[in-house]
Amino acid sequence: MEAILLAGGQAKRLGAATASRPKALVPVAGRPLAEYTVRLLAAAGVDRLIVSCAAGQGKLFASELAGVGPAIVLAEEPERLGRGGGLRFAMQFRRESGPVYALNADELLALDFSALLARHRERGPAATIVVAPLTSPFGIVEVADDDVVAGFREAPRLPHWVNVGVYVLDEEALARLPERGDHERTTFPELAADGRLRAFPYEGVWLTVNTQKDLERAEAHLRSHPDWPFSQEDGAGSSGSGTSGSPASGELGRPMPS
């Protein structure tokens, strides 16, 4: 099984923490950020990982991810193509046909990739995207009739789902990727309009590392959960329902820009 890792992020908002490394290789609790997800992919049977990265960064990825599990295949973009363009460029390095995992390299989550693939094959869409519940970044005030304040709720779950940045793509979706730009603004809306896009709900811990604050948050979580994401409490091995584990307080959902 193959996977494509979108690892072209420049980590501009992480400042000195990057040490001139691409964001996917920024150390988090002693390991490159991407390694946590690559280990989960390996556990799900991925033996070939295509890394879509900026020109000149391939050797660093090959070195940092060597020995994690999958064979590392480098797809260095000759110029910035955007995430959708990067995916399309990386396609030429595939050896297999059929579904492929594709995912952002800056996400930390305890997803059951095997369950995701099984659900995709069961339903047969062009693509399946992992979605998580949206948690409000603010506490809310409950206002009743006549503007009476009825109560308060801290960071409640909202009645919406957000894209986690992890997908299974079949040949139909791959053929519709843009040469340049973002597939989430082109390919996915087109597939949704055609009824060819499915969702896989995930309600476990999900951390995105975009800022120094995000990095500190991820460090704290990994230091306090040294076996994560393989610990049973986080549900990395669960399957069937489409969910994986239960969120720790304040840790579910994509952090808001800061």
Q: Concatenated DSSP letters for 154-180? A: SSPEEEEEEEEEEEEE-HHHHHT--SS
SS3 percent helix, strand, coil of the chain, rounded to 5, is: 30, 25, 40
Q: What are the structure tokens assigned to 1, written together?
A: 């099984």
How far apart (Å, rounded) are the C-alpha atoms in residues 227 and 229?
Answer: 6
245 confidence band (pLDDT: 50, 70, 90): very low
Domain boundaries, the chain: 2-129+162-234
CA atoms 33, 37, 40, 41: torsion sign: negative
Q: Is the pLDDT score of 237 beyond 50?
A: no
Burial of 83 (0-12, 13-18, 19+ CB in 10 A): buried
What are the tens digits of pLDDT across the range 18-34?
666 788 898 888 899 99
Q: Is the pLDDT score of 49 beyond 70?
A: yes
Q: Is the pLDDT score of 12 beyond 80?
A: no
What are the tens digits of pLDDT across the range 53-102?
988 889 999 999 998 889 999 999 888 888 899 999 999 999 999 999 99
Residue type at position 157: R
Q: Is the pLDDT score of 14 beyond 80?
A: no
Instruction: Tell me which of 123-132, 167-176, 234-243 is least confident.
Output: 234-243
What are the tens digits of pLDDT across the range 110-120?
999 999 999 99
Label the pairing between strands 197-201 and 127-135. parallel
Q: Is the pLDDT score of 239 beyond 70?
A: no
How far apart (Å, rounded) are the C-alpha atoms in residues 144 and 9?
Answer: 45
Classify domain 2-129+162-234 at the CATH topology level: Spore Coat Polysaccharide Biosynthesis Protein SpsA; Chain A (3.90.550)
pLDDT of residue 234: 44
Q: What are the structure tokens assigned to 250, written together?
A: 């304040």
